[in-house]
Amino acid sequence: MCGICGCGEGHSHDHEHEHSHEHGPAHSHAPGLNPKRMVQIEQDILAKNNRYAATNRHYFEERGILALNLVSSPGSGKTTLLTETIARLKEEVAITVIEGDQQTARDAERIRATGVPALQINTGKGCHLDAHRVGHALESLQPKHQSVLFIENVGNLVCPSAFDLGEAHKVVILSVTEGEDKPLKYPDMFHAADLMILNKTDLLPYLDFDSEACIQFAKQVNPRIKVLSLSAKTGEGMEQWLRWLKAELELQRIAYA
């Protein structure tokens, strides 16, 4: 069981189509363990994860690969953003994708339909990807030098914030249907991210979502966060995101050269 969030990650599965056969509560908090012991377990888990993350980061830097960790609550539009991004970028840049979900390979199948290699990790009871599993996925995927690797994390605004995967940036996607107060309610995630994408802006005319307040809340939590607004569905605003991506890839390539 993951000592950070009690999510059962130690028993989860790394294989496509494999289903978890665990039973019992997904968030049992190890009754009987004293708080000091829990803190020690948390520190050990994060320290171990950080060692794997450092190895992944070294792997990316050695190859000039731009790795981005996409985090959000379920359904904010991560996979849609990826398929639309791939459609616009794949002729110029080599792309691979790691998909994290508790169950199913649906998202990896959506990515593969665009012609880009994707590997699905099913986390079972686990509510986030960790650096060790990402390292294994790299062995199978073998992303090209100077390419972009997107890692779509498990939909969850809490646990993925604590786990470094070795990425250059965490990118948090917030859809306008979720309410502008999310950066204040889930500050760890917005603090950990370098970029916030406000998605589904095509729906703004039908909602009372206050974009300015949302951006202000995000900056309150993380003054250095960059913000882009777009609609993955209509394509409005996609060009700023593509510009940001290409600029980041260039930086990674310069460091590699």
Ligand X SMILES: Nc1nc2c(ncn2[C@@H]2O[C@H](COP(=O)(O)OP(=O)(O)OP(=O)(O)O)[C@@H](O)[C@H]2O)c(=O)[nH]1
> Which residues here bind ligand X, judged by CB under 6 A?
72, 74-80, 107, 155, 199-200, 202-203, 231-233
Cβ-proximal residue to Mg ion, closest one: 79
Give min distance, CB of 208 to ligand X, in A: 16
Quote the least distance from Cβ 190 to ligand X, whole Å. 16
d(CA 67, CA 117): 15
Q: What's the burial of 62, exposed, middle or buried (CB within 10 Å: 0-12/13-18/19+)?
A: exposed
In the complex, least distance from residue 194 CB atom to ligand X, rounded to whole angstroms: 19
> Could you give the CA distance from residue 113 to residue 115 in angstroms, rounded to a whole number?
5
- Looking from the CA of 128 toward its CB, the CA atoms found within 13 Å total 26
Residue 80 engages Mg ion in binding (rule: CB under 5 A): no
Residue 120 interacts with Mg ion (CB under 5 A): yes or no: no
When CB distances are held under 5 to 8 angstroms depending on the partner's kind, the choice from Mg ion, ligand X, none that residue 80 binds is ligand X
Report the partner that residue 16 touches, choosing among ligand X, Mg ion, none (CB closer than 5 to 8 A by kind). Answer: none
Residue closest to ligand X when measured from CB atoms: 155
Is 107 near Mg ion (CB under 5 A)?
A: yes
What is the DSSP annotation of 51-94? HHHHHHHHHHHHHT-EEEEEE-STTSSHHHHHHHHHHHHTTTS-
- Contact between 69 and Mg ion by CB under 5 A: the answer reads no
R_g (Cα) of the chain, nearest Å: 18
Query: Closer CB to Mg ion, residue 59 or residue 241?
Result: 241
How far apart are alpha carbons 24 and 39 in whole angstroms?
Answer: 23
Q: Which of 13, 63, 78, 200 binds Mg ion (CB under 5 A)?
A: 78
Question: Pattern of binders to Mg ion over 189-218, x per CB under 5 A?
Answer: ------------------------------
Give the residue with the Cβ less far from ligand X, 75 or 115: 75
Q: Return the residue matching tokens 């960059």.
A: 226
Nearest approach, Cβ of residue 176 and ligand X (Å): 9
Report the C-alpha gap between 105 and 138 in whole angstroms. 17
Minimum distance, C-beta of residue 81 to Mg ion, in the bound complex (Å): 9
- CA nearest 157: which of 121, 131, 181? 181
Q: Which of 134, 4, 116 is nearest to 57 (CA)?
A: 134
Positions in the binding site for Mg ion (CB under 5 A):
78-79, 107
